[in-house]
Amino acid sequence: MKPTYFTVGPSMLYPTVAAHIQNGLSQDIGSISHRGKAFEKLFQETTENLRALLNIPADRRLFFFSSATEIWERLIENCVDESIFHLVNGSFSGKFFEFSQTLGRKAVKHEVAPGNGFDLREIAVPGECEAIAAIVNETSSGVSMPLEDVSALALSHPEKLFFADVVTAVPAVSPDYSLIDCAYFSVQKGIGMPAGLGVAIVSERCIEKSKQRKADGKITGTYHSFSQLEKFAATQQTPATPNVLFIYLLGKVAGDMLTYGAEKMRNETRQKAEMLYRAMDQSALLSPFVVNPAHRSITTLVASVKTGSPAVIEALKKEGMIVSSGYGPFKEQHIRIANFPAHTLEATHTLAQRIAAL
Ligand SMILES: *Cc1c(COP(=O)(O)O)cnc(C)c1O
């Protein structure tokens, strides 16, 4: 039997991916021009399905990139003149902060130790910062920012651009995109596709800022500047030859999730997370790494393993269940478990039973 990948990314492929790749190839998706009608049609289908699945407001643009990591760099180049504020609680949010520094911006961070969430009352954003970088789900530590906190933080600084990393939140956890100037993700996490495509959901304010920077003679990048992306997206195209097969696939998978039912998918995500956290509580070896239940991720769950994680990872692997090791310094102390739409109730139940018995 094929193993189930409960890894946090790349992860289990959504069950329809293989058939869509086959269909795409038989429709010559790998050979069609990215300047032709067939591509424009699939670009449109993908953006429409994503808008419906994630409840994206009509005034937001969707831009395609190669990864979420690329989007960090593009955001700084396009939208930040001098100074940006970062919320940091783990490796991914920390990396974005470092990108801002590397690109010569004044980066200010509010940092809490891995495993902790943010207390809004303790966050003080300096007036000089033009943008706030938040993270909805920190994959390295399994910490989530409650969606009401994401909204409250954005609403309390209306004059600043608000960026949100939603890489491992999407599509089961869906923030209010009307309050976020740029939310971004890549497809190898919750969407259940192979890696190689990043998506940014961008407000008019971000595009205006990019245009202003360009007019001021500042660097906004070349082919992936927001003005270039906007210009081409207006005719359902991209500045460079994109990953056409993956844009096609993303549209199809989003369509399948809509058919399955977005609400049903979100309810099941909560149900599966409860199952897994309950199992950690029952296990003698495992315990949730995130102490505050309000900050525990429901999409990437992290457990501390009393005896070290390698033996547990190996034992689960023998039974066809692949989980991630801890991230960075926690490599041998934690396991990380993905709870994405590709993970069925049945498969998750089996994993939960096994964990409870550890
Ligand atoms: C995986 C991940 C990223 C980076 O995504 P890439 O597609 O590898 O660039 C960024 N943020 C979070 C929270 C992630 O989990």
Give pLDDT tens digits for 187-242.
Answer: 999 999 999 999 999 999 999 999 999 999 999 999 999 999 999 999 999 999 99
Spell out the residues 6+ positions from residue 175 whose beta carbon is closer than 8 angstroms to its own.
136, 147, 150, 151, 164, 166, 169, 183
Task: State the closest ligand 1 atom to the C-alpha of 138, by its place in the atom list counted from 1.
Answer: 13
Residues of the chain scoring pLDDT < 70: none
pTM, rounded to two decimals: 0.98
Task: State the closest ligand 1 atom to the C-alpha of 139, by its place in the atom list counted from 1.
Answer: 15
Would you say the CB of residue 67 lies under 6 angstroms from ligand 1? yes
Would you say the CB of residue 167 lies under 6 angstroms from ligand 1? yes
Would you say the CB of residue 339 lies under 6 angstroms from ligand 1? no
Spell out the residues 6+ positions from residue 104 whose beta carbon is closer than 8 angstroms to its own.
none
Query: Which pLDDT belongs to residue 1?
Result: 80
Query: Which pLDDT belongs to residue 190?
Result: 98
Residues 117-139 pLDDT 10s: 999 999 999 999 999 999 999 99
Query: Which structure tokens are listed for 330?
Result: 């926690």
Q: Rounded CA gap, 134 and 89, in Å?
A: 10
The closest residue, in CA terms, to atom 15 on ligand 1 is: 139
Contact 199, 185 (CB under 8 A): yes
| Residue 43 CA to ligand 1 centre (angstroms) | 23
Ligand 1, pocket-test mutation among 8, 65, 92, most atoms within 8 A of CB: 92
DSSP letter (8 states) at residue 32: S
| Residue 344 CA to ligand 1 centre (angstroms) | 23
Query: Which pLDDT belongs to residue 303?
Result: 98
The closest residue, in CA terms, to atom 2 on ligand 1 is: 167
Query: Which pLDDT belongs to residue 81?
Result: 98
| Residue 69 CA to ligand 1 centre (angstroms) | 6
Query: Which pLDDT belongs to residue 38?
Result: 95
